[in-house]
């Protein structure tokens, strides 16, 4: 009797794609493909020109101030704090967040990422870190250059870099959460910036404890010799910790919101 050949094992049928709720054990919390796609999207020609507009305006105003108006350390710090931390940093953050998160929800291109086996928190964190890097390049560093041009002494350049970086960290967390939570996220982010940061936090003292602009200003004043003795809006340690907590909280909230979404929600 002839023995039949052993049956060839058949491959298991493919299962459904992972939902992406959590990263596989032992993997990085970041997604390299998401980072590369985010950089490619952010550094498109038109968007780069838009991102360069505010730093160019800042440098132009700096050169005008240097040429026609002598500014001491206090005036320089006030100018950089008001226009830099108050305008440049949040607007650059808003442009980047709109490009990488809000626009993808509006045009539906986020679906291409949602159907892949990528942790939702890793997806949001990857985009948030790209946004933060862009804020440093297009907002924080130009402010440091402006400080070096206007008033290189008294530790002001490093102080403005530190202060604007702290505000940038907080704004990335706030705008990332708003970009995912709100249907009209750009309007919501603008309303938050104009109403809360630019108006209420400047008029009502206790609200400074919940203001990204006040956190950056506090770090700036603490690190600069110009106003080292002045009363800070909030303690420096609290400002740094609050900014980091807001960044982490914004990423986690956005990740959880995406987890709860269905494709019809997008």
- Domain contains 259: yes
Please report the pLDDT score of residue 26 as a whole number.
Answer: 42
Q: Please check whether residue 127 lies inside any domain of the structure.
A: yes
Q: Is 252 part of a structural domain of the chain?
A: yes
Domain-located, residue 1: no
Pick from 113, 134, 110, 140: which is nearest to 39 by CA? 134
Cα–Cα distance measured from residue 107 to residue 95, given in angstroms and rounded to the nearest whole number: 16
CA distance 233 to 34: 37
The pTM (predicted TM-score) of the whole model is: 0.84
How many structural domains is the chain composed of? 1
Instruction: Give the pLDDT confidence score for residue 22 in this predicted structure.
Output: 43
The set of residues, in sequence order, having a beta carbon less than 8 Å from that of 198 and lying 6+ positions away, is 86, 213
Q: Computed over its alpha carbons, how large is the radius of gyration of the chain?
A: 23
- Residue 23: the pLDDT is 43
Structural domain contains residue 196: yes
Give me the DSSP letters along 203-227: HSGGGGGG-HHHHHHHHHHHH-SSS
Domain that holds residue 225: 34-264
The predicted structure's pLDDT at residue 38: 81
Query: What was the pLDDT predicted at 255?
Result: 86
Residue 24 domain-assigned?
no
pLDDT of residue 105: 66
- Going by C-alpha positions, the residue among 260, 94, 121 that lies closest to residue 178 is 94
The H or E element spanning position 249 is helix 236-259
User: What's the confidence (pLDDT) of residue 21?
Assistant: 46
Question: Is the residue at 233 inside a domain?
Answer: yes
pLDDT in tens, the chain (266 residues): 455 555 544 444 444 334 444 444 345 677 777 888 888 888 876 778 888 888 999 999 988 888 887 778 788 888 899 999 999 999 999 999 988 887 766 655 666 666 666 777 888 898 999 999 999 999 999 999 999 998 887 789 999 999 999 999 999 999 999 988 887 788 999 999 999 999 998 888 889 999 999 999 999 999 988 765 567 889 999 999 999 999 999 999 988 887 776 444 44
Domain assignment present for residue 246? The answer is yes
């Amino acid at each position: 009797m002839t023995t039949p050949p052993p049956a060839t094992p058949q491959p298991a049928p493919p299962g459904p794609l992972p939902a992406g709720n959590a990263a596989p054990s032992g993997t990085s919390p970041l997604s390299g493909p998401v980072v590369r796609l985010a950089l490619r999207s952010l550094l498109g020609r038109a968007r780069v020109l838009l991102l360069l507009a505010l730093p160019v305006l800042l440098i132009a105003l700096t050169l005008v101030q240097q040429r026609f108006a002598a500014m001491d350390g206090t005036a320089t710090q006030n100018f950089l704090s008001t226009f830099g931390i108050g305008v440049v940093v949040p607007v650059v953050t808003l442009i980047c967040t709109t490009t990488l998160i809000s626009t993808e929800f509006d045009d539906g291109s986020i679906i291409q990422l949602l159907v892949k086996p990528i942790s939702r928190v890793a997806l949001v964190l990857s985009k948030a870190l790209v946004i933060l890097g862009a804020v440093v390049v297009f907002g924080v560093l130009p402010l440091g250059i402006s400080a070096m041009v206007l008033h290189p002494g008294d530790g002001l350049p490093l102080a403005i870099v530190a202060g604007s970086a702290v505000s940038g960290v907080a704004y990335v967390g706030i705008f990332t959460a708003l970009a995912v939570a709100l249907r009209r996220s750009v309007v919501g982010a603008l309303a938050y910036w104009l109403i809360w940061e630019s108006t209420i936090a400047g008029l009502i003292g206790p609200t400074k404890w919940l203001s990204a602009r006040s956190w950056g200003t506090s770090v700036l004043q603490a690190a600069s010799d110009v106003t080292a003795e002045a009363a800070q809006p909030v303690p420096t340690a609290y400002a740094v910790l609050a900014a980091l907590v807001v960044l982490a909280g914004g990423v986690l909230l956005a990740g959880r919101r995406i987890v709860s979404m269905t494709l019809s929600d997008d």
